[in-house]
Amino acid sequence: MRVRYAPSPTGYQHIGGVRTALYNYFFAKKYEGDFILRIEDTDQSRFVAGAEKYIQETFDWCGVKFDESPWNGGAYGPYRQSERKPIYKEYALQLISSGHAYYAFDTTEELDAMRRNLESHGNPSPQYNSITRQYMKNALTLPQNEVNRRLEAGETYVIRIKMPRNEDIKTYDIIRGWVLVNSSQMDDKVLMKSDGMPTYHLANVVDDYTMKISHVIRADEWLPSLPLHTYMYRCFGWEQDMPQFAHVPVMLRPDGNGKLSKRDGDRLGFAVFPLAYQNEDGSSSNGFREMGFLHEAFVNLLAFFGWNPGTTQEIFTMEELIAEFNLERVGKSGSRFDFEKAKWFNHQHLIRKPFAELRDHLMAILNNNGVNDIDQNNLETIWSFVKERCTFITDFWNEGHYYFIEPQNIDTHTLEKINTEKIRSALRNITDRISNDTEFSSTRCEAIVKEEMASSVLKPGELFPFIRILLAGQKQGPPMYEMMVLLGKEITLKRLTQYK
């Protein structure tokens, strides 16, 4: 098994592209195959500086390793199409020699005139095809000596595929099933541009063949190109070596109306890129990493945008995704992006992550908030108490700051409703007993509170919220008696005597 991910450095990596790369990675590793990265940079006019580095950093963060790439090489390089330019010219000339491609010398003005003429005669989709090429300036209509003269004179030309007329082209797609298109519906695509660079179609087919790619797993926006690529394999005589194809569905907007885009993220306040980056106008685009997502959660949630394991299990490690992934369980329809579900995935991975892997992050959060001295055992206990309320690790301070400093944003509204003389009297008795008791433990604190509730005829729902708000600023939180012990006797008494 040899699969590849082939992004273009014409912009920053969208999560839809990362999802496609992950499907390739899962598939390759499941069958102990090779995962190749190929940079398709033939469109130099749209090249974005830094885009390739962004791709590298993205997959480093995701924990995805390429077996072959521009950075670690391999037996089938180079892995940037711009460095393979001589190879494409050779294969384009091979198609000309076999009669499957031809030179076209039409100017931009002549092409525009052809399209306007067709549109004026009621053709809404004018094409350079098996019919219109007969009236254009190309090697099929010009005498051979005229073609030679133009080539020798260095005239600008492109090389086009010569599509047959009225021929069915049929290809099997692992996800879509059989795809059948008649060649009369297809145009003579440009294979080699006037600048000598190949188009996607030529470079894609040649590279997949010469790199011995066994399966092409790509976005379904390339599905319309499948008949052309199938036909090109036939023209080259490579049908026996043609890879199997699988076109994965797009990621849809939250409302399901169209493909997810950067504008959707900007409008709705979530990221559509794995990593943050700076725009040319000085603005910035947010990334999942910078929003606080764990890379394990990011990989897990992207896997579920189009694929499902056929069971109720949703939380997977990378190893489990590799073991369970199969193309047959990738759906045909696009999946709506749900940011709330994305946050749920992060929460699930966060609460399962071993404390040892989070310790340094938690300590950094405390240090940034002026807390530098903390017992590591206490920190682990505190994390175990608050993690269920944390979507991101950065929520740790908001959810557990009261263990280290005075509670912020005290729920005074609730406190005023339950602040009665009966409760204050019970609290005075509790604090007096805790202060005078030689033992300070969660068990002893619980016994004192329960004994006082019994003698004062108070229910837990009356007293507990009052104690919690005084200790933590909120009526909901971790186990109350364990919280007292972690705060320590002195701080517990100080906070409980605020309303004594």
CB atoms within 10 A of CB 176: 17
Both structure tokens of 95:
């198609």
CB atoms within 10 A of CB 490: 10
In this prediction, residue 6 carries a pLDDT of 96
Q: What value does the mean pLDDT of the chain take?
A: 94
Work out whether strand 335-336 and strand 284-285 pair parallel, antiparallel, or are unpaired.
unpaired
In this prediction, residue 499 carries a pLDDT of 63
Q: Is the pLDDT of residue 486 over 60?
A: yes
Interval 209-221: pLDDT, tens: 999 999 999 999 9
Both structure tokens of 166:
């009225």
What residues does 64 pair with on adjacent strands?
none
φ and ψ of 130, to 5 deg: -65, -20
Interval 32-60: pLDDT, tens: 999 999 999 887 777 888 899 999 999 99
Peptide linkage before 7 cis (omega within 30 of 0): no
In this prediction, residue 268 carries a pLDDT of 79
Q: Is 461 strand, coil or helix?
A: helix
CB within 8 Å of 282: residues ≥ 6 apart: none
**DSSP summary character for residue 250:** P
Of the candidates 91, 2, 4, the residue with the CA atom closest to the CA atom of residue 39: 4
Please, are residues 423 and 486 in contact by the beta-carbon 8 Å criterion? no
Interval 223-233: pLDDT, tens: 999 999 999 99
CA distances from 290 to 267, 284, 286, 351 (A): 18, 12, 7, 19
Q: Which residues are identified as catalytic?
A: 262
Distance from the Cα of residue 119 to its chain's centroid: 41
